[in-house]
Chain A
Amino acid sequence: ADVTQYIPLPTYRVGAYASSGELWWAGERDYFRYINEVEGGIDGVKLNYEEFETEWSPDRTVEVYERVKAGKDGSPIAFFFTHGTPATYALLEKAAADKIPLIDPAGGRTESIDGRVFPYAFPLLFSYYSQASTGINYIASKVGGFEKLKGLKIATVYHDSAYGRATQPAVELLAKKYGFENIQIPVADPGNEQSPQWRQIHELKPDWVFLRTWGVSTVVGIKTAARFGFPADHIIGDVWAGSESDVIPAGKAAIGYSALAPYPGGADFEIHKRLKKFILDAGKSDLRDQKYFGAVNYNVGLVNAALAVEALRTGYKKFGARPLDGEEGRWAFEHLTIDENRLKEIGFVGLLQPIQITPLDHEGGGAARIQSWDGQKWVLQTDWIKADHEALRPLIEQQAAAYAKEHGITPRTPDTETN
């Protein structure tokens, strides 16, 4: 039989978040299938992925974690995708004790970027602080430089939840640094009626709005903005407010709306050509409706899958082509590097930013492109815009240190660790 690496996937194909989940796991599975069937696995190791429905409930993700953490069919698990910030939080300590890395790209716990305190947590790719910072950087570029930020009013309309508030410390810091006025306006879940919020916007007249909602609250937000005459092209949506399902239902109101895109939309990237040929046209895709091929959420799945595959590849180089366990998985992720060359090889140029993860930096990227909606599709506006890591790093370290103190953790000193 094949040598296999077991990859459990907590998913949410039903329930309130199904519309993103369905595409997301189609992308992820299509890529894994591509690796298995076209590339013959990773160095010959096949991926054995299995889904577990959680409806995005952290409790059920915990349950799945318990179920799979010992591995399956002789393969341990090298990492655990939580696919949800609350789930990451719920598992943080368990996973550290079990020595299983938690992978939560473009989410997770921001200060776990500091791998000295959080060896087993990876808020890969694009942490919440980077999201805030990239948004501000983009606004700066639009207004003609950072100096021009001074005196601007930037309002954040956010989903009133931990997710929605996760950027607040970063925005506050940047507001101080650049001198813009920081307005925060909460929208209570589910956010299907936002007149009071946008009437407030109407009164306060901010120059830009950073939209950090999710699900219906994005659609309703964009529509209500239009109703109150706030221009869509001065709204910047966050990662999770930037998929097709966020704008299509908003109709015309969404034209000109832009969003941060660590996972750009579109089916013209190299990898899509390969998938089209080997998976879609071969009738093996997990997509029910091919019109969603290249949708933002589908691409989320592709990118996340690619990150996992590249990390495993890194690990196999060091430990040999055999299933990795959690500790080896951590090593693999902590030494994951995907440079331009590698991007070209795997067909992800433009879709995935160059990544370099180290024990000190579990994020590894921290950039996004900006895409805007033209009424039919997302159009990419920029190349990768990087977050202001120098500004953010002290805040992150400070919070990580506080966590370490509270939990009695002595931070590792990875420099002296033998690899």
Chain B
Amino acid sequence: MTTPSPPALEVRNISLAFKGVKAISDLSFEVAPREICALIGPNGAGKSSLLNILNGVYVPNSGEIIFEGEHFHRMQPLEAARRGIGRGFQNNALFSGMSVADNVIAGLSRHARATLLEEALLLPRARAETRRFRERAHEVLGLFNLEHHAETIVATLPYGVQKKVELARAIVAAPRLLLLDEPLAGMNAAEKQEIADIIATLNRELKLTIVLIEHDIGIVLKLAHHVVVLDYGRKLADGAPDGIRDNPEVIAAYLGGDKVEIAA
């Protein structure tokens, strides 16, 4: 699904090092609007770091990011959120002491307009906003069949459910670019399928551009329109899913040479 229109996101010559150790070296690739781009690669290849650069948690040593035509040398987390970049994390980064609904509503922060005083005094605008946010959150929770967990404190939920909550939080504010770090990890096959379906739906219906990291190659190949393979911070391969599985370099670095099928 390559379109002639300009890319939604372009990563240009990005390099990142920690205390002199290179995590990403001179990486460039493009993500077309409305495509699902999968980032795969061995552990420590720099995938999460790249997402962190894209929404401003890490500052690259060099290179630039072009998002919807605008150039950034560095992103600020808040700025990224404001521009519609949503994010799900590798280790669940939920607000563990809050309820599921509150977690999701927190994702709407940048749309909040009511002032502190209005909120404290329960003035109409604050009340309306609360109502709107709550409705929106329930809508999204509905998508994940999580309504009944709305008032549960997330820390007491099983890991798999937490993952879904996190996804819900990432999309509640209707982002234009969604960055997902291993959204399917720790789930069983059925759940993986369910989430994959949701991701596909989001991509299709909401016309969301998605960059995701995932190790379950079976699902990745079904879900993604475009795969970028990283190894030691370098781009190993970049292209349509079909070619990836048989790419010898990818097999050597990532998939493993054995014929054993890992995924169901």
Q: Do A and B come into direct contact in the complex, CB within 8 Å?
A: no
